[in-house]
Structure 1
């Protein structure tokens, strides 16, 4: 199993704080710096506006072949749920430069908590799977009504990747387990900030959480149980607020290596900054 570990997004300005990876780094070289530390990144900007070919060409060039990208599909597919043919064409064609460079991982469809398991929503998800046929598509379903074996069996039938999440224990959302529906796994660690998950005024506030080593060991154990079932596993830390993810990723790398799951660690220049 090849393990890819990174963060949700790479352009976090908080990482320019003293001791973090962007200290003294110009914004237009953030990706180059990020790629020296992490071998995967979950692209968030595409949720708001789908970048064009030139933007993806720039990402491929700046990452210098060191980082695998997963691309979050635009909100028109998951929140508005009214995509046009032109939306599909742009979403599937624009990341072509990443695919050509061997840097494209799965697409990510992150549905909101309000997307319950209803007949209409099941039909919509099936239609989305059909339109993304031939492309890896990971699906995060945040409402607990989807967290059922029969849902995952259907996803496996259509080649959809179940996104395994780590959420705060607030109820109404899927349990924190690693589930396998294809030979590719996808894990998103959102933090466990129970107090601000529903009340938080921003994503940064909701994700303001630093995992401890015991919690990283817990996830390493869960990953070890499914290692033989996967060829690849993508792990993305969403708790990028205040650089929490930068501290947690080395913890998880160590925990996985200790359990016989090899994790490649990039070898950045020794600049004394926190990884």
Structure 2
């Protein structure tokens, strides 16, 4: 069982700078307070293996990076003819060593479930990248029992996200060995902070899942005004009072 709490990216809001060490790179300072981060820049552009190695060396042993699969695979190719791209992604991110956590596969809202080709792709991905895979589909066609069963077979967890569009997005699905929450802020995505009641309710969910031996990730993405970092600290504080 493990609980990972972090932010999408490791920027440090100036209003919270005093909660981090005064010296070091942003990543070194961030890693001194949080155990995980979601790396989204890999979605937009490749990074050298040596860059990933440098990042891994900047954080403590228990720290984990979740890494977003490139958009060339998910949004442009849409799973078609991607093996060379997967090989490149795996080789680069292998630089993280055992600090590489789940690979996040976020799909465009227009990506309709393509049937058997989805299972073939996920199988290829799991063969190429041996860490956990978490899938964030955003078209209603992915939220059907037969798709959930496919994800279970492949041991791929379905992301739970807020705001939830469509509504089933709010709950984790697929493989039950990992639960991955992406919290973008509500009602204003990327901006709104979560209040104490929302933090406490989510802490209860995280604690319950962790007690069942599930690997639980919570990533706050309401980063525009620094709410993500504050909410991550608040969740850690509330969970410290739970019996886990």
What range is the shorter-chain TM-score in?
A: 0.7 to 0.9
Q: CA deviation at 1:24?
A: 10
TM-score by length of 1: 0.78
Q: CA deviation at 1:54?
A: 0.7
Deviations along 1:127-160, whole A, 9 cap, x unmatched? 2212112422110012233223332221011111
TM-score by length of 2: 0.87
Deviations along 1:44-64, whole A, 9 cap, x unmatched? 111011212111111111224
Q: Match for 2:229 among 242, 246, 262? A: 246
Secondary structure of 2:115's match? helix
Q: Match for 1:181 among 175, 180, 190? A: 175
Contiguous gaps of at least 5 residues in structure 2: none
Are 2:148 and 1:152 aligned? yes
Contact 1:191 1:207 (C-alpha < 8 Å) held by counterparts? yes
Secondary structure of 1:174's match? helix
* Cross-structure match for 2:163: 167
Secondary structure of 2:182's match? strand
Are 2:100 and 1:104 aligned? yes
Are 2:41 and 1:45 aligned? yes
CA distance in 2: counterparts of 1:35 and 1:237, whole angstroms: 15
Secondary structure of 1:4's match? strand
CA distance in 2: counterparts of 1:214 and 1:165, whole angstroms: 17
CA distance in 1: counterparts of 2:28 and 2:22, whole angstroms: 10
Structure 1 residues 65, 173: closer, same or farther in 2, change over 3 A?
same
Q: Match for 2:193 among 207, 210, 229? A: 210
Deviations along 1:168-197, whole A, 9 cap, x unmatched? 6xx535342244613122111111135xxx
Contact 2:7 2:221 (C-alpha < 8 Å) held by counterparts? yes
Number of aligned pairs? 239
Q: CA deviation at 1:71?
A: 0.7
Q: RMSD in angstroms over aligned alpha carbons? A: 2.5
Q: CA deviation at 1:83?
A: 5.0
CA distance in 2: counterparts of 1:16 and 1:249, whole angstroms: 13
CA distance in 2: counterparts of 1:113 and 1:162, whole angstroms: 15
Are 2:187 and 1:193 aligned? yes
CA distance in 2: counterparts of 1:67 and 1:255, whole angstroms: 20
Contiguous gaps of at least 5 residues in structure 1: 195-205, 262-275
Deviations along 1:187-216, whole A, 9 cap, x unmatched? 11111135xxxxxxxxxxx30010001011
